[in-house]
Amino acid sequence: MSEVDYADVQGLVRFGYGRLTSASYALVRVKNVAAAKAWLRAASVTSAVEQKPPPKTALNIAFTAPGLEKLGVPESVIAGFSHEFRGGMAQESRSRQLGDVGDNAPSKWFWGGYGREPHAVIMFFGEPDQFDSFVQTTKGSSWSDAFEEMTWLGTSNLDGNEPFSFADGISQPQIDWEQQRRTPCTQLQYTNITALGEFLLGYRNEYGKFTDRPLLEPDATSTDLPSAGEAPAKKDLGRNGTYLVMRQLEQDVRKFWQFLYEQAGGNLADAAQLGAKMVGRTLAGDPLAPTQDEPIPGVDPKSAQQNQFTYESDPAGAHCPFGAHIRRANPRNTDFPEQHLSALRKLIIMLGFGPKRFYDDLTSSVRFHRILRRGREYGSELSPEEALQPGPPNESPRGLHFICLNPNISRQFEFLQNAWIMNTKFSGLTGESDPLLGNRGSLPGCPVTSAFTMPEDGGLRRRVCGLPQFITLRGGAYFFLPSLRALRYFAGAPNG
């Protein structure tokens, strides 16, 4: 098993650059191919090599399918990328799957919709005092010849909270960089350690297999590329790269807190409790589901209070509702609905004679659906108290530039968004989607999707109805975050 060449991986895969609190994403279209390629060749893209002291700035770059086409990457090479990446996020059938309808529809996006796809996203990170000069120097003199700026997505540092004031980014999968993980046929215990191939192309995934990516016949242009793990005669354009999903999620902070406050009968503490039920964590980030004493592989004991839990301790959802955001996004389950199984019991369950209660075994095994989140907030901070006041006219928006990394968009991001977040039938529920992200749109036969249900132990559930849409999608695209060698391949590709 080959070691990961960190020098070939873009830094964003390994680091969130938390210390670099300033960040900005330039969405660009290629104006002049030759100039763009020259700029890309000269750009000093930050790798995943650990540096001491840590760098004060970082630069990472990803491309859309039209972007690669524009750079002159041959059609036969682009055909090796995934269906989702080539089709793009804004396709109509994809919008239905992702819940990008109504106010979330691509036709209403600020960027990324039909005819407004960026070619690339160029991500700048830096310490605040160095940031502006870093951006200026990096752009250099040829920037404006090379690119047409569509928009700059600015970010803000909310000290680890998302705009609704809940602590964010608490749970991330632990990447198995050393490739020690033997991907088992069945995983009977929840683990937070996830195969490297679930985050980087060119390595084995949770099925023990390689995910599709362009494998090229060796020729003059591809000599620099690594060989493919499963086909050593081929050159691997995907290895050490991954897909980057970007979605601009505008959060209506006032609407959120005002709704909670009203539901709580004008009591802010109760409003915060209801909010916690929706998120699945308190404002401070503590999970509602009880934590356990037994360590979980891949969960740092230091963060035990916030991450050492599964929903085994809360099977009825009385603490953390089934529909809570973090329970939808990561159900923390295993391949089987029971732990510690004998071979016979496994067979019995496989044949359909296992647990027979209504809510048993309704959710897919999570290890095939993890993502690495790398997003950043934008807009100014607004506390829950402040959010109860009416906003000034033309208030600047707040939200999250959601970014996630995954080599299999359809099995990872899209599955998560479709089957878990937006699904009005998640885990035996009906008439509700994610309490935070739901679009509240009606479906044929399901006129209402705006409820939120909180099961109670030994009694009738509590249900909040008429949740408005708190979060609106303002733009989005699928990018390919290449390895540094693949980046050089693109930058040096023909027609340059």
Partner 1 sequence: MTPQSNFMVVAAIKPEREVELRQLLDSMNRAPGRVDPNNELIPFAEFDELHFARFVILDDKTTEDIRVYGLAPRQYPLYLAFLGDVDGDANAFLGKLIKRAGKGLVRIFSCCEGFTSETNLLAWMKQHHAPAIAAYVNWRGRTVRQIREEAALYEAVQSYIEKNAGTFEGLAPRELHEKLRSFVKAEKSGGRLMLSRENPTPIGWQIKNLLHLIGLPLLALLVSPLLVVLAPFYIIALRRLEKSDPEVCPTADQKHSEDLSKFEDHDVTNQFSAMGSLKPGLVRLLTTIGVLKTVNYGARHITRPGRLGRIRSIHFARWVFVAGTERMIFCSNYDGSVESYMDDFINKTGFGLNASFSNGIGYPRTNWLVLDGCIDERNYKEYLRRHTLPSQVWYKAYPGLTAVDLERHTRIRQGLETPSMTDDELCQWVALL
CB of 65 to partner 1, least distance (A): 11
The contact pattern for partner 1, residues 40-79, with x = CB under 8 A and - = no contact, is: ---------------------------------------x
Six-digit token string for 212: 């599709």
Answer whether 160's CB lies under 8 Å from 168's CB: yes
The residue from 69, 103, 149, 335 that contacts partner 1 (CB under 8 A) is 335
Residues 206-235 that bind partner 1 (CB under 8 A): 207-212
- Least distance to partner 1, CB of residue 104, Å: 15
Q: Which residue in 6, 16, 72, 86 binds partner 1 (CB under 8 A)?
A: 86
The size of the chain, in residues, is: 496
* Contact between residue 370 and residue 173 where contact means Cβ atoms under 8 Å apart: yes
Binding mask 438-477 for partner 1 (x = CB under 8 A): -----xxxx--------x--xxxxxx-x------------
CA separation for the pair 29, 22 (Å, rounded): 23
State the distance between the two ends of the chain, measured CA to CA, in whole angstroms: 36
Binding region for partner 1 (CB under 8 A) out of 131-139, 363-371, 379-387, 388-396: 363-371
Q: Is 115 in the site for partner 1 (CB under 8 A)?
A: no
Closest distance of CB 344 from partner 1, Å: 15
Place of tokens 């705009």: 163
- Give the number of other Cβ atoms within 10 Å of residue 442's Cβ: 13
Residues 20 and 56 sit within 8 Å (Cβ to Cβ): yes
When the beta carbons of 208 and 492 are compared against partner 1, the nearer one is: 208
153: which DSSP letter? E
> Can you spell out the DSSP letters for 169-233?
----PEEETT------S---S--SEEEGGGTSTTSB-TTSSBPP--EE---GGGTTSPBPSS-TT
**Considering only residues 393-432, where is the footprint of partner 1 by CB under 8 A?**
410-411, 414-415, 418-419, 423-425, 428, 430
Q: Report if residue 348 touches partner 1, rule: CB under 8 A.
A: no
Map residue 378 onto helix, strand or coil. strand
Does position 349 bind partner 1 by CB under 8 A?
yes
3-state SS assignment for residue 453:
strand
Q: For partner 1, which stretch binds (CB under 8 A), given 202-210, 305-313, 381-389, 398-406?
A: 202-210
Q: Nearest to residue 243, comparing CAs of 208, 211, 195, 277? A: 211
Other Cβ atoms closer than 10 A to 108:
14
Q: Give me the residues that bind partner 1 (CB under 8 A), please.
A: 79-80, 83, 86-87, 91-94, 96-97, 185, 205, 207-212, 316, 335, 349-354, 356-359, 361-362, 364-365, 368, 410-411, 414-415, 418-419, 423-425, 428, 430, 443-446, 455, 458-463, 465
